[in-house]
Structure 1
Amino acid sequence: MNLELLDFTRRALEQGLPRERISGALHDAGWSPADVNAALAAFAETDFPLPVPRPRPYLSAQEVFVYALMFTALYASAWNLGALVFRFIDLAVPDPARRVFHAVLMDGVRRNIAALVVAFPLFAFLLRHVHAAIDRDPTKRESRPRKWLTWLTLFIAAAALIGDVSALVYNVLGGELGARFLLKVATVAVIAGGTFGYFLADIRKDEAA
């Protein structure tokens, strides 16, 4: 958080100015709503004569471990789900120009399913654990590992969507739109788009909190 903004907010509260007036002045000065809300949220709303700071989130090794493991499980789940669907598409709509043995495809299917059986329940469990911790202590929304990894996930999902649309446009221009290609494009769009939408909504929820 910007120290200048935090210091201004503290001094304004010491003068007894209403939060609405402080917020309006900061907005008029060009500060973003998220920055203004964060600065005001740093101080508890009490009748004490001086501004009472709220406990600030700190970076712990456990927190880094939990978020790193959760997002790694997410990436593994997304990758293996996409690969699994791709293999089913190859089985359902074979490519005449590319001979792939059925046994090789089925071995890949087993690997993807095995990875999903481990990774996705782990991700779901950790996500539930994180949300429960945030419900108990809303200051955990400001966790640095959580924010950095969430934005990294948005970047990866956006990059996948851009690549997906680019491949679609390329094939449209070349007049090559087979069923296999369209199904794979749709698979990437659903997985990457769903991931992007979920975490974008999560960030907006943080900004509104």
Structure 2
Amino acid sequence: MASATQELDVFVREALLRGHGREEIGQALVAAGWSREQADSALASYADVTFPIPVPRPRASLSAREAFLYLVMFSALYFTAYNLGSLLFKLLELALPDPADPTYRQLQLDHSMRWSIAAVTIAFPVFAWVSRLVSRELARQPIKRLSPVRRWLTYLTLFLASCILVGDLTTLVYNLLGGELSLRFVLKLLVVGAIAGSIFGYYLHDLRREETEA
């Protein structure tokens, strides 16, 4: 695959060097079996400027610092989302107690709630601070939006959020068909859906905005 990509890049450079137009090159690549996206990506590697030879655009590179920031940011996001959901679950259990639950389980809520509150209190500011730092760097250097680790973690987040949403809706329909819905159960499903849906919507909007600006 790397060899094919290199051949495509060499072909585009040679074609531009010989004075062929971008649309003409793109049509030739599509006719040869390359996808339109591959052709556009290869052409986008060279700036559309007037110069005797093709001028390459700057490409995103992966640095250890950049990988560290994204790993910290997304890890803090996952940790915050999980513990926020856990905290809201426990608040619902306190507000709508189940008579079938043994007493010792109710007593354990205090300890687990303190852990969830502490986790959200620490993890969310870390996520917000690193996210702001990354946003500033992207504003200064838009090319960093093409960072491989950023794209992989963003799509991984979208995948996880979509899986949770599908599972959430499946559980709702399953229990609805069985006639086993309770208010506490429905509220818990809404909590999961709201957290996963917010994360999915935010990063999907971010990707679409990036495509529009590109």
Q: TM-score, normalised by structure 1?
A: 0.89
Residues of 2 paired with 1:206 and 1:25: CA distance? Answer: 28
Q: TM-score, normalised by structure 2?
A: 0.87
In structure 2, the residue matched to 1:198 is 202
Q: Which residues of structure 1 form unaligned runs of 5+?
A: none
User: CA 1:205–1:179 in 2, change beyond 3 Å: closer, same or farther?
Assistant: same
The alignment status of 1:121 with 2:131, answered yes or no, reads no
Partner letter of residue 134 of structure 1?
A: L
Q: Give the counterpart of 1:99 among 93, 102, 119.
A: 102
User: CA 1:159–1:120 in 2, change beyond 3 Å: closer, same or farther?
Assistant: same
In structure 2, the residue matched to 1:47 is 50
Q: Which residues of structure 2 form unaligned runs of 5+?
A: none
Q: Which of 162-171 and 13-22 deviates more?
A: 13-22
User: CA 1:126–1:169 in 2, change beyond 3 Å: closer, same or farther?
Assistant: same
Aligned-CA RMSD value:
2.1
Residues of 2 paired with 1:36 and 1:21: CA distance? Answer: 11
Residue-by-residue CA offset, 1:1-35 (whole Å, 9 max, x unaligned): 833433333223223334344445556656244x4
Q: Percent identity?
A: 49
Aligned length: 208
Q: Give the counterpart of 2:185 among 181, 185, 191.
A: 181
Structure 2 contact 26–36 (Cα < 8 Å) conserved: no
User: CA 1:136–1:24 in 2, change beyond 3 Å: closer, same or farther?
Assistant: farther
User: CA 1:32–1:20 in 2, change beyond 3 Å: closer, same or farther?
Assistant: closer
Residues 1-209 of structure 1: pairs in structure 2 closer than 5 A: 2-23=5-26, 26=29, 31-33=35-37, 35-100=38-103, 101-208=105-212, 209=214
